[in-house]
Structure 1
Amino acid sequence: MSIAVRNEGAKVNSNINVTPMVDVMLVLLIIFMVITPMLQNKVNIDLAKTDNPVAMPDADKDDAIVVAVTRDGTLYLGQNRINPAEVGAKIRDMLADKPGKQIFVRADARARYLDVENAIDDVRTAGVESVGLLTEKRQPGAIGGE
């Protein structure tokens, strides 16, 4: 009597097929590369350029309160457009639980002086002792001297 031996396990491939995983990872990489520049958390402003700016690393923190003044005089608190009459009340609410009261102002280089001064005045009226004016360092050899 003979017994037939079946060798079904010899055809099983135990290697992992990583091609689908690589495809998914490449798609995710492309998605992140496209989306990352859009995650900018600041209003697009051309800051004034100075020769000796003071470094203000606290302005880049997530919890920093930044008031932005655009070229046309529009005010933003963070990324949200705000009515100039509401600036003082909103800042007072935001600083109710913060002992170190510091606000940063980002103003466009071509914004009217009166608009910037009014924004700073509204911030100071809200009880802020320290206001930082954000600027950029002038690059040597820049055309136009901005």
Structure 2
Amino acid sequence: MGIVVRNEGSKVNSDINVTPMVDVMLVLLIIFMVITPLLENKVQVDLVHSRNAIPMEDASKSDAEIVAITRDNKVFLGQNEVSLSQLGQDVQNDLQNRTNKIVFFRADARSGYGTVMDAIDAVRTAGVQQVAMLTDQQAAPVAQTSPAGE
């Protein structure tokens, strides 16, 4: 009779299986790619609807200077709340080394007209010549058809 000896030590696989790690990383990458655009505008504002809105691609750039005014008339420069008296100085500091000196305003539809105008005046006194108001495109009206008998 013969003795069967199993040599288990020679069959050990010391390679690292990275496939599960790559799968997890790809899922995390996709999640972050979807969530990142939603985090850009942390200040919640319901924009005014307009019929003839012009697309402004510069407003979605990461270095765009955006002033947001909420419905309770709080003023934000980027994501930071600022007072109207400090807004002009902060905008001037942010734009001093830029060639494109345009400020975008995101005003809530229910914010006070006076607050919006005061914010625009504060930015204008800081030396900004170009001011843009961001709005949402109003949905096209649905054409109504009359009944055939009329």
1:14 CA drift (Å):
4.3
- SS at 1:54 equivalent: coil
User: Which stretches of structure 1, 4 residues or more, deviate above 4 A after TM superposition?
Assistant: 4-7, 13-20
Aligned equivalent of 2:102:
102
Instruction: Give the RMSD, CA atoms, in angstroms.
Output: 3.5
Residue deviations 1:82-132 (CA, integer Å, cap 9, x gap): 111100111111111112210000000111111111111111110001001
- Aligned-residue sequence identity (percent) comes to 34
Residue deviations 1:24-53 (CA, integer Å, cap 9, x gap): 818x649946x9279612111000001110
Aligned equivalent of 2:20:
21
- CA distance in 1 between partners of 2:44 and 2:125 (Å): 26
Runs of 5+ consecutive residues of structure 2 not aligned to the other structure = 143-150
When normalised by structure 2's length, the TM-score is 0.75
Report the residue type matching 1:25 in the other structure.
V
Relative to structure 1, the CA distance from residue 23 to residue 124 in structure 2 (aligned partners, 3 Å threshold; closer, same or farther) is closer
When normalised by structure 1's length, the TM-score is 0.77
Runs of 5+ consecutive residues of structure 1 not aligned to the other structure = none
Report the residue type matching 1:81 in the other structure.
E
- CA distance in 2 between partners of 1:141 and 1:13 (Å): 70
Relative to structure 1, the CA distance from residue 63 to residue 36 in structure 2 (aligned partners, 3 Å threshold; closer, same or farther) is same
- CA distance in 1 between partners of 2:54 and 2:23 (Å): 45
- What is the count of residue pairs matched by the alignment? 138
- CA distance in 2 between partners of 1:95 and 1:37 (Å): 25
1:133 counterpart = 2:108: no
